Structure 1
Amino acid sequence: MTTILHIDASARLGRSHSRRLSARFVESWLARRPHDTVIRRDVGLAPPPPVTEAWIAAAFTRPERRTDEMRATLAVSDALVDELERADLIVAGVPMYNFGLPAGMKAWVDNIVRVGRTFGFDRSRPGEPYWPMLAGKRLVTLGARGDWGYGPGERLEALNHVEPHLRTVFRYIGITDAIAIAAEYDEFADERIEASMRAAEAAVDRLVVRMTEGAEAA
């Protein structure tokens, strides 16, 4: 059995290309593996609260020393980390907003990068004082971009702070298996976005087949 954490970060609903791709992935997966579990988290419609001074103080206080107020401050973060821990596969529909993550997705990232939960820290530890605490999970990022050419080696690669950001964050907490597919040309509203979406959907279909066959073999 595989547990999928399905995240959407777009502020748009029916017109969202990233939502369309993430839904296609999950629906195609369940068509092939109907008994798997999906956890749904929509940070586009219901963004987590941003990190505050009180959040930081609570997160860096040992659990046994936290007050009731501190535990309440971390309640949403705890729920998000619990979902992440349960998941074997994270499927994230994440559009590019101003070259980076939507605010709701950034808030999600800030809430799940937690000392003692997803990464460890010991300043007295020889060598590297940080270590990842999650492993054996996979990340699939399904994106949408207004312009084109943000992929590796392309004209706007240096301006893409979506997939590189997520790969860095997930690697930091121990998730190194990451795949990304994105549609482009959204701002042009012509046949190019339609062609890009068709190509992205075909890539999603191929990926689902490959990953589900691997899951069945395992």
Structure 2
Amino acid sequence: MSHLLHIDSSALSQGSVSKELAETFRRVWAENNPQGTVTHRDLGTVPVPHLTEAGVTAGFTPHVAMNREQQAATLLRDVLIEELLAADAVLVSTPMYNWSIPSTLKAWIDQVLVNDRTITFDGSPGPLAGRPATVVASYGGGYSPGAPMERANHCGPYLETVFGTGLGMQTEVISAQLSLAPRVPAMADLVPLAEQSRAAAHQAVAERARTLATALVSA
């Protein structure tokens, strides 16, 4: 039985393109892996705390020497890390906010990236190495390779670094571009391209979910 960790980060409860893509993944995943289990965290609804001084210093303090604040920070971090380590696959949905990821997602990342727990600095494989991570993202503008704003994309490439380089996971980022076109009058002529990008993203997400679910069931 395979287990999926699903992280949403959009602040929107309705009309989120990134959550819509994640729903497609979940639907196809369930169709091809009906016995699988899922842990779902919606960081837009229930955000995790940002990293504090107590959380940082706890990582370098023996447990017996921790103060109360460090112990509390460690308890929260342990819960989030155990959720991540228990996952056979990870799904993260994110919008691009001001050329980057939502602060809620950054807070979660800061809580779970811990040396000798989830990442290593000595070149050895970490505990998540080789497991699949799928990032589904929505970009309000156009940030595809070759686009004028490509270098301003600090969302997808950053998450490739976190999950692919940092955690050693087999990472794929799938994005829907120009998601603001239907809402911004100045982008009205880009609506057809936005619709094409969205449809292509759903198709790619469905194929990714099908491939991963089938592989895990067969493993």
**TM bracket, shorter-chain basis:** 0.7 to 0.9
* Structure 1 unaligned spans of 5+: 122-127
Q: Deviations over 1:53-93 (max 9, x none)?
A: 11111122133433444221222221111100000111011
TM-score (norm 1): 0.88
Equivalent in the alignment of 1:140: 134
TM-score, with length taken from structure 2: 0.87
State the match for 1:181 in structure 2. 174
Residues 128, 169 of structure 2: 8 Å contact kept: no
CA contact (8 A) 1:96 1:144 kept: yes
3-state SS of 2:180 partner: helix
Q: Could you tell me whether the CA contact under 8 Å between 2:134 and 2:172 is conserved in 1? A: yes
Match of 1:23 in 2: 23
Unaligned 5+ residue runs, structure 2?
183-190
In 2: Cα distance, 1:115 partner to 1:65 partner: 19
Counterpart of 2:144?
151
Question: Distance in 2 between the 1:131 and 1:139 partners?
Answer: 16
How many residues are paired up? 211
| Counterpart secondary structure, 1:198 | helix
Q: Distance in 1 between matches of 2:92 and 2:84?
A: 12
| Whole-angstrom CA distance in 2 between matches of 1:42 and 1:179 | 20
Change (3 A) 1:177 1:131: closer
Say if 2:106 is the partner of 1:106.
yes
Q: Following TM superposition, by how much is the alpha carbon of 1:154 offset from its aligned partner in structure 2, in angstroms?
A: 3.5
Evaluate the alpha carbon distance shift between residue 70 and residue 130 of structure 1 in structure 2; reply closer, same or farther with a 3 A threshold: farther
* Identity %, equivalent residues: 33
User: Taking structure 1 as reference, are residues 181 and 107 closer, same or farther at Cα in structure 2, changes over 3 Å only?
Assistant: same
The equivalent of 2:48 in structure 1 is 48
1:14 to 1:38, Cα distance in 2 relative to 1, 3 A: same
Q: How far is 1:216 from its partner?
A: 3.4
Counterpart of 1:197, as a letter, is R
Counterpart CA distance in 2 for 1:193 and 1:161 is: 20
Letter of the structure 2 residue corresponding to residue 2 of structure 1: S
Moved more, 98-107 or 154-163: 154-163
**Match in the other structure for 1:71:** 71
